[in-house]
Structure 1
Amino acid sequence: MSAHLSIALTGQSLIRQDLRTINDPRLDEIVQFLKASDIAFTNLETTIHGRHGGWPLKGSYFGAAAPEVLASLKELGFNSLALANNHAFDLGPPGILSTLEEASAHDFLHAGIGPDRRHAGKVEKKVLGSRTIGLIAMDAGPGPSFMYAENESEGRMSRPGINRLKVSRAFELDKEAFNMIRSIQNRFQSSDLERANYAQPEDPPKVNGEDEIDFYGTVFLRSDQYARRIVVDEHSARIQLSVIAEEAGRGIFVVVYLHHHHWEPNWQQVPPWVRDFAHSCIDAGAGLFVSHGAPVLQAIEIYHGSPIFYGLGNFLFHTDKDEQEWSPSEVWKSVIATCNFEMGGRLLDISLRPIIVGGAEALSDRQRDRLPFPVFAEGKMAKAILDELASRSAGFDTILSEENEIGRIVP
C-alpha cells in the first residue's frame, strides 16, 4: 500500500469530440502525467445525449455530447468527475439520467446530479489509491430553479437535476438612486400577484423591510455605496456543510467541488463569498476544495493545511471558432495541479505543470485551428503562467516557487 495519496486536478472539460483516435506524442505526455496520480479529477462541462434523449433548453450556449466523450476522458486517465455545472441540465431531466447512467457505466467516481435532491447532494464514495475518497459537487448558478434537483413532496413529483448551493444577487444603491427605482415601481402600481406572474417559473424574491425593493425579479437595497452583492443562503449552505462534516467524521477524504458564474468584473479575482464558503467547507472537514466557472486561473490558498483552488480555468475547451468572448489568451492557459497527501490526509506539497489549451501555435496565431487537447507549456510561456498564478496567490499568503518549468507549493 502506498504511503501517500496523489490527486491531479485540471481545469474544466468542455468536451464535444472523442479524442481516442488521436495519435500525438504531446497528448501522450498529458495522459501519462494524469495516470501517474491515484486520482485524476475534472469537471464534465456538458451533458450526455444518451438513451434517455432530451430537449435542448438553451440557445447559443447549449452544450451536449455523445457518450463516447466519457470513454475518451477515461482513456485520458480521469477516474473522478464533477457533474454539477451550468451545462448539466441543457437536455433537461433526460440528460441528467443519461449522464448518470454513462458515468456509472464508465466507473467514474462522480457527483453533483441525481434523480432527486437527496441523491444529487450526496457525497459519493469510491476506493481510489488505497483510500476511500468522497466527492460532493454543487452549482451556485445563476440558473433557473427548475434545473436543480428536488425531492418528492405531497402533490409534487421529484425532479432530476443538479445539486444546488442557493445564492441570491442584490444591487446596493445610494439613497437617491434607490428612491428613483422605488418611484418608478410606484408609477407602475404593480401588485404582488403581478410580480409573481412575471416571476414564473420562479417564485418572486423575498424582501425585508423598506430598505429593499423587488423590481420585477431584481432586488435593490438602500445603501451608502454602489455594489453587487452575492449572498449564500444559510439553509442551503448548512445542508451542504452537514453532509461534508458527516462523511469527514467517518474518516472519508472529502473533495468539495463548486461551479458558479457569479464572476467579478476582473475574471481573475476571487469573489469574497466563494472564499468564505470554501473556508466553511474546510472547517467542516473537507480535505480539498476546487472550483470552476470563470474560464481562467484564479488563486490557490492553503487554509488550515488544506488546499483551495479557486479556479483552474480550462483543460478541454471545445468551442466554436467564432465565439469571440473566449479570445483573451488567459482562457487558454492553465495548470495541472498535483496534490500529494500523507495517507492520513496531511498535505505534503502541490506541484503545478503549466499547460496551453489548444496548443501554443493557436495561442500566438488566432488564424490557426486549435488542437482539441492541451499541451504542456515550455520555456517563457511556462514561466509566465506560473508567475501570474504566483502573483494572484500571493494575496492569499501562498508562496509558489518555480524550477524547471514546474511550480511548487509547500504548506
Structure 2
Amino acid sequence: MTRLVAFGQALIRRPLAWPEATRALAAGADAVFCNLEGCLPPPGATRMKTKTVHPAPPEALAALWDLGVTHLSIANNHVWDYGHAGIVATRDAAEAAGFAVAGAGRDAAEAGGPATRGGVALIAADCGPTPDWAIAGEAPGVNPLAVRRRLVLPPEDLARLAAIARASGEAERVARRIAVGYDPPVDGPRFYGLALAPGDGPREEHAVDEADLARLAATIAAARRDADRVLVSLHHHHWAPDWARPPDWLAEVSRRLLALGADVVAAHGPPLAYGLVSAGDGGGVAALGLGNLAFQTARAERYADAGLDVWTGAALVVDNAGSRLASVAVAR
C-alpha cells in the first residue's frame, strides 16, 4: 500500500535546515505533500498587494526537494501576490524542479487538474477569500472551492439594518448598480456587501459553492482511475474566531470530500496545527489543520505576544498501519 506523508505549509524566504525528525518522517514515503506558501515571480512582475507578500527564491523549491517532497500545492492566497505572471512562473518553476503540481495554472483546466505520481493523485483548491481576477478561468488563477460567509440575525436586527441601508442610500445604490448591469442580482438581504439571513443569531454561517464542489467531485472520480490514493488539499482563510480550533465549516466540507471519493483531505491556512483527524465511512481521513512545515515570518514576535504556537506543525502519515498525526518542529 502506498505510504503518504502530508505536511502543512512552507513559507521559505532564505536558506534553512530541516530537523532530523522531519527528514525521518519523509524518508521512504511513496509521496510527500506540502503547500508552497509563496510565489516565484518573474523579473519585473508587479506586486498585487500593499502588505504581506511572500516572494520565494528558487532555493525554496530546492529545499523542499531535498526534504523529499513530491507533491506540491500552489492553491493559496500568496501564489497570486505578483498577479497572473507570478502564478504562471510559480507553476512553471515547480514543474521544472520535478514536483507534481496542482492548484493553480494558466487556466481552469490546468489549475483544477490532478497531479499524479507514486500512486497518489493531488487535487488542490483554494477556499478563499479570493479576488475574482485570481480565480482560474480562461486566464491564470487558482482552482476554487469557494466558501461564502453570511451573518444570521434575528428579524428585528435585519429590519434595523434594512432601515439603515435605506436611510444611508446604500439600498438605492445597490439597486441602481444591479439595474444597469454593474453588479449581478443578489440572493437574499445584504448590508454593505455582507450576506444576511434570518435566524437565531447573531452567528456566522459558511457554505461551500455547490458548483465548485460538483466540479471537484468529477476531478476526484477521474483521478481515482489512475491512482491508489487521492489527496485533496484545501487552503483557506475563513478562520474561526478562536485560532486554537478549526472553523466549524471545515469538518463538514472535509466529510463531503471523503464521501465523494477522496482518501485524504489535508487542510492548511491558519499557521497552527489542530491535531484533529476525522475518519470517513470509507476509511478516508481528514486533517483539519496541519499548520506549518517551514515558517520564515516577519511576525514571530507578534505571534509570541499573542500566545500562538506557530512553531509546532503536524504531519499526517497514511500507510499500512492506518493513519496518524505526528508532531513537526517547524523550520525557521
| TM-score normalised by L of structure 1 | 0.74
> For the structure 1 residues 194 and 66, does the alpha-carbon distance in structure 2 shift closer, same or farther, using more than 3 Å as the test?
farther
> For the structure 1 residues 205 and 72, does the alpha-carbon distance in structure 2 shift closer, same or farther, using more than 3 Å as the test?
farther
- Count residues with an aligned counterpart: 326
Task: Give the counterpart of 2:297 among 304, 313, 319.
Answer: 319
Moved over 6 A (4+): none
2:271 maps to 1:295: yes
Unaligned runs of 5+ in 1: 151-157, 342-347, 359-371, 373-411
Contact 2:129 2:146 in 1 (8 A): no
- For 1:219, the equivalent position in structure 2 comes to 195
Q: Deviations over 1:171-191 (max 9, x none)?
A: 111122111110011113323
Task: Give the counterpart of 1:105 among 96, 99, 104.
Answer: 96
Separation in 1, partners of 2:304, 2:32:
26
- For 2:144, the equivalent position in structure 1 comes to 164
Separation in 2, partners of 1:36, 1:253:
17
Contact 1:195 1:217 in 2 (8 A): no
- For 2:329, the equivalent position in structure 1 comes to 356
- For 1:140, the equivalent position in structure 2 comes to 127
2:297 maps to 1:310: no
Aligned-residue Cα RMSD (Å) equals 2.3
Separation in 1, partners of 2:299, 2:187:
43
Structure 1 residue 204 displacement after superposition = 5.2
For the pair shown, the structure with the greater C-alpha radius of gyration is 1
| TM-score normalised by L of structure 2 | 0.90
2:70 maps to 1:74: no
Q: Secondary structure at the match of 2:151?
A: strand
Q: Deviations over 1:135-175 (max 9, x none)?
A: 1000011121111111xxxxxxx210100112221111112
Structure 1 residue 85 displacement after superposition = 0.7
> For the structure 1 residues 8 and 61, does the alpha-carbon distance in structure 2 shift closer, same or farther, using more than 3 Å as the test?
same
Paired-residue identity, %: 30
Separation in 2, partners of 1:234, 1:352:
30
> For the structure 1 residues 194 and 326, does the alpha-carbon distance in structure 2 shift closer, same or farther, using more than 3 Å as the test?
farther
Which fold has the larger relative contact order, with Cα–Cα distance below 8 Å and residues 6 or more apart in sequence?
2
Separation in 1, partners of 2:82, 2:304:
24
- For 1:192, the equivalent position in structure 2 comes to 174
- For 1:267, the equivalent position in structure 2 comes to 243
My pick for the range that moved more, 305-314 or 184-193, is 184-193
- For 1:340, the equivalent position in structure 2 comes to 319
My pick for the range that moved more, 294-303 or 318-327, is 318-327
Contact 1:256 1:289 in 2 (8 A): yes
Contact 1:170 1:220 in 2 (8 A): yes
Q: Deviations over 1:331-385 (max 9, x none)?
A: 22123332114xxxxxx32344323325xxxxxxxxxxxxx2xxxxxxxxxxxxx
Contact 2:178 2:185 in 1 (8 A): no
Contact 1:259 1:291 in 2 (8 A): yes
Q: Deviations over 1:258-309 (max 9, x none)?
A: 1111111122333332222211211121111110012212211121211110
After TM superposition, list the pairs within 5 Å mapping 1:176-187 onto structure 2.
176-187=156-167
Separation in 2, partners of 1:186, 1:357:
51
Q: Deviations over 1:105-144 (max 9, x none)?
A: 1110110001011211111222x1xxx3211000011121
Separation in 1, partners of 2:262, 2:164:
47
Unaligned runs of 5+ in 2: none
The AA in structure 2 aligned to 1:62 is V
Contact 2:240 2:248 in 1 (8 A): no
2:11 maps to 1:5: no
Structure 1 residue 195 displacement after superposition = 4.9
After TM superposition, list the pairs within 5 Å mapping 1:10-159 onto structure 2.
10-19=7-16, 27-50=19-42, 53-126=44-117, 128=118, 132-150=119-137, 158-159=138-139
